Amino acid sequence: MPSREDITYFGAGPALLPTDVLNTAAAALVDYNGTGLGLAEHSHRSELATGIVNKAKADLATYLDVPDDYEILFMQAGGSGEFSATVYNLVGVWVERRKQKILKELGIKTEKDIPEDELVKQLQKAVDEELKIDYLVTGSWSLKASQEATRLVGAEHVNIVADARKVNDGKFGKIPEESSWKLSKNPAMVYYCDNETVDGVEFPGFPELLKPNGEEGEPIVVADMSSNILSRRILVKNFSVIFFGAQKNLGSTGITVVIIKKNLLPPVVATPSPTLLRKLGLPIGPIVLSYETIAKNNSLYNTLSIFDVFIAGQVLQKSLKSFPDKVDGQQAVAEKKAKLIYAALDAHPESYKVVPDKSARSRMNICFRVTHLANIDDAEKLFLKGAVEKGLTGLKGHRSVGGIRASNYNSIPLSGAEKLAEYINEFTKTHR
């Protein structure tokens, strides 16, 4: 049986974790800091747990240069849970802001000065005619996000800004030109997935069309960065909400991180009452997906997995020690690894086909097909078998699309990328 040192695991998630972090976590699981109890046994209400949460938040803010007017939340339910949470929370923000606009237009100071039925009538008209949630559909995850919004609020309130399949023969693999995007006027949010793990598509940078337009809080941009967070520099102030599951670049499965602008939380903006939302026919989210509730309780409203936060914190501490220039240093390594692997694939066009267009190639999830045999399935089985023999594992593509996928997350060492590039070159020579 191979040892941990014998393999490089390119799985898409849960992903490889640094061995030294796992060794530290393993010891903490048995006895944390000489307390006689393992970390998973300590109360999430303890001072110890609060310290772990606060340290991880501070280190994440340092590593990414998160401004002071943002809050960091540790939540549960994964990125898929955030497909729902963003709808629940930001539709609520939209309703509250629209209510305040109605009161201002009527010259009324507070909602107590207008009959409730009249206010509900005005709001209902606004919801029916104006409420939109915008989605850029560039891959499997953004498609699922838009489908969840449709399930929660109805297709009439969901606007597909762009669908990449329409510019790529019915398949994902490109990002439509911004000139073709059809944004709504003042949507509750504009969502996009910065990196699509299934389809190997990554935005090369922040979209020009979504940059702040000078009006306070506009547009409200939500980004799913589950699979490329911590791998490159981002300008946090361009976003209203960033969310990501921990299990790619940050830690282990079990926690989801939300970075949210504080002007989307009380006391800056109130949360509509459940009674009002019911009257408007809008969904009311579970309280554990309420950003207000999680923020008020410093991420400890319910039993958070402190052990998983600890692992994430250890990864952040290691990253800060490894890269004095913070995320910029990690970005340089990520790009070097990706270039090595893509260069090997591009050198043999007769044997490999990179799936996404060159303009949208992901640095994190390198998706390709092995084409040098008449039967692609046979060629890919042969490729995968040879890869495992060399200690290169986790390369099988997502079940929905097949092919090969090398997930080049932060914990993949440069030597691992070099080994894969060497194998790509070797395979095409030995299997003609």
Q: Residue 373: is its pLDDT beyond 90?
A: no
Give per-residue pLDDT as tens, 19-55.
Answer: 999 999 999 999 999 999 999 999 999 999 999 999 9
- Domains belonging to the chain, first-starting first, are 55-308 (3.40.640.10), 325-430 (3.90.1150.10)
Q: In the chain, what percentage of residues exceed pLDDT 70? A: 99
Q: Residue 162: is its pLDDT beyond 90?
A: yes
Amino acid at residue number 46:
S
The closest of 183, 188, 131, 138 to 165, measured between CA atoms, is: 138
Sheet of strand 256-261: strand arrangement: 70-75, 256-261, 241-245, 221-224, 189-193, 133-137, 158-163
End-to-end CA distance of the chain: 30
Residue 300 structure tokens = 């400890």
Q: What is the dihedral of CA 13, 14, 15, 21, to 10 degrees?
A: 160
Give per-residue pLDDT as tens, 323-372.
Answer: 999 999 999 999 999 999 999 999 999 999 999 999 999 999 999 999 98
Contacts 24+ apart (CB under 8 A), 231-234: 231/327, 231/330, 231/331, 231/334, 231/363, 231/364, 231/409, 231/410, 232/327, 232/330, 232/331, 232/334, 232/335, 232/363, 233/327, 233/328, 233/331, 234/64, 234/206
The pTM assigned to this predicted structure is 0.97
Distance of alpha carbon 150 from alpha carbon 26, whole angstroms: 42
Tell me what pLDDT residue 217 has. 60
Tell me what pLDDT residue 110 has. 84
Strand extents, DSSP E, 141-217: 158-163, 189-193, 195-196, 201-202
Using the Cα atoms of residue 247, residue 251, residue 255 and residue 258 in order, give the sign of their dihedral. Answer: negative
Give per-residue pLDDT as tens, 109-132.
Answer: 888 888 999 999 999 999 999 999
Q: What is the DSSP letter of 157?
A: G
Q: Residue 216: is its pLDDT beyond 90?
A: no
Element (H, E) at 75: strand 70-75
Tell me what pLDDT residue 375 has. 84
Residue 147 structure tokens = 């489908």
Residue 412 structure tokens = 């993949």
Q: Residue 420: is its pLDDT beyond 90?
A: yes
Sheet of strand 352-354: strand arrangement: 352-354, 365-370, 404-407
CA distances in angstroms from 213 to 54, 185, 208, listed in the order given: 33, 12, 10
Model confidence band, residue 310 (pLDDT cutoffs 50, 70, 90): very high
Strand extents, DSSP E, 236-375: 241-245, 256-261, 352-354, 365-370
Tell me what pLDDT residue 105 has. 92
Tell me what pLDDT residue 297 has. 97
Task: Say whether 396 sits in a helix, a strand or coil.
Answer: strand
Residue 7 structure tokens = 């393999």
Average pLDDT over residues 292-321: 98
